[in-house]
Structure formats: C-alpha cells, structure tokens
Amino acid sequence: MNLIGNIIWIIFGGLLIFFQYIFGGLILCLTIVGIPFGIQCFKFAIVGLAPFGVKITNTSYGVGCLSTIMNIIWLIFGGLSIVLTHLVFGLLLCITIVGIPFGLQHFKLMSLAFSPFGKSIS
C-alpha cells in the first residue's frame, strides 16, 4: 500500500517538492552558517519524495539547548512558511475521503518542518 501511495504522491507533486527542497538545501549549503539548515532541507527532500512508510522520531541523544536555538532560528527564517504551506495543503486534501491519506502526509511533513533539529527519519 505504501508503494501505491508513494507513486501517486510523486505523480501529483511529490517530485516537485523533492526538487524544491534539494534546490533550497544546495543554496543554503553555499554558506558555512547555512549548512545545518541545508542538511535539514535534504531531510525534507527525502520525506517529500516518498512520505508513505517513513517514520519521524525524536532523537534522544544530542538534543538540548543548541537544537532548540536552531529550531527557533529555523522557524523565524522560513520554517514557519513551510509549516503553514503543509497545513493548508493538508486541510485542503482532507476535505475529500480520497485525499485524507495525502493530507495526513502533509501533516507529517508539517510536524517535521516545525522542529527539524532533534528528529530522525527511519
């Protein structure tokens, strides 16, 4: 079932989301300060390409005040717009019964976009 969901996801915009996150990550990695944020964009690209079957978990190691500060900076400088975009698409897709699984994937991406530092993808 995950394979069918991922194929439909890729056809109807998942590939575009993937390339947008890759492009954003490459642009952010041009500066030394932007490298951690670029790496988070690459994390979004992986989930944005095939979100069905991907689990997002909180990491218990290495989280602390640095990841909190990085999450706050992330939200201020672009993360909030990503969160709101996934929220709107998730709500629009959940209007129909067929769109509910895809809306739930947008909500998963929204939770990752809210605080990407301190989370891992499995």
Q: Where do the structural domains in the chain lie, given as residue ranges?
A: 2-121
Residue 60 has a pLDDT of 65
Residue 61 has a pLDDT of 66
Residue 63 has a pLDDT of 62
**DSSP annotation string for the chain:** -HHHHHHHHIIIIIHHHHHHHHHHHHHHTTSTTTHHHHHHHHHHHHHHH--TT--EEE-SSS-SHHHHHHHHHHIIIIIHHHHHHHHHHHHHHTTSTTTHHHHHHHHHHHHHHH--TTEEE-
| C-alpha distance from residue 97 to each of 7, 78, 86, 101, 122 (Å) | 18, 31, 18, 8, 27
Q: Which residue has the tokens 């952010």?
A: 28
Residue 27 has a pLDDT of 92
| pLDDT tens-digit profile, the chain (122 residues) | 799 999 999 998 889 889 988 998 999 999 999 999 999 899 889 999 999 999 988 876 656 788 889 889 999 888 888 889 889 999 999 999 999 999 999 999 998 889 888 888 88
Residue 62 has a pLDDT of 57
Its pTM stands at: 0.86
